Structure 1
């Protein structure tokens, strides 16, 4: 499930830019499949960062994650099909990744996501067990 939609992308970047980014066959229209793939790939990239702290995919993602998803998808679209990236596109991508890295290491939170979203339990819990004191007033040296 993508965190942003075609309509979100069109509202943010405009139809003309989406045509430039996705129209691989020079048809003069948005290639819906190419755009959908870029949004899914961007969402998967985001999930790779979020998975350490949240159950992914997020059932109800905070709205600002859509912006990150669009920036990542836009960057990815520039990297294929001979499209050129700009400094703004590169910077927005780098900023999105920096934010996601902060989420992954626990520096920032994306806030409450839903009642059912929890961090999955670890498959290899660490358990420490002591066999008691080795030294003490009531025990002699070994």
Structure 2
């Protein structure tokens, strides 16, 4: 299940923005390059899943609004065949920072299902019995 759709990208950024971002391969058609958009959405979803997997069981049943917004932002960045504008690049970097905060647990998502349990403490228990041969017990031999 994709976290965002083409229709949501059009609603947020407008049709012309997506045409300008994707219609760069070969002769310009004046239309959105759908394979480029599909690839951008899939890449964004894979990136988001990588961060969410640190905290949540995947796949998630419903897409939280924050995840949808992050997917829209990352998809818009990845859809650019050429260099993205400074605003799009900055939004992308902010989205990555937000994903990092989610993976660290600084931001919690309101989703069904429990977060995976965190790993327990990494303690090593040792048994240190009394030594039978010490410097005192070996006097005269050493």
Q: Do both share a fold (TM > 0.5)?
A: yes
TM-score by length of 1: 0.77
**2:135: which partner in 1?**
none
Alpha-carbon offset, residue 40 of structure 1: 0.8
1:51-97 CA deviation, whole Å, 9 max, x = no partner?
0101123221102211111111111122x3xx231111011001100
Instruction: Flag the structure with larger Rg.
Output: 2
Aligned residues: 128
**CA distance in 1: counterparts of 2:75 and 2:44, whole angstroms:** 5
Q: CA RMSD in A?
A: 2.5
**2:103: which partner in 1?**
104
**1:88: which partner in 2?**
87
Alpha-carbon offset, residue 17 of structure 1: 0.7
TM-score by length of 2: 0.77
**CA distance in 2: counterparts of 1:109 and 1:120, whole angstroms:** 14
Instruction: Give unmatched runs, 5+ long, in structure 2.
Output: 132-142
**CA distance in 2: counterparts of 1:104 and 1:126, whole angstroms:** 20
**1:21: which partner in 2?**
21
**CA distance in 2: counterparts of 1:75 and 1:118, whole angstroms:** 29
Alpha-carbon offset, residue 127 of structure 1: 8.2
In the TM superposition, structure 1's runs of 4+ consecutive aligned residues that sit over 2 Å from their partners are 117-122, 125-131
Q: Is the 8 A contact 1:38 1:73 kept in 2?
A: yes
1:10-53 CA deviation, whole Å, 9 max, x = no partner?
00000001111122341111122210110010010011111010
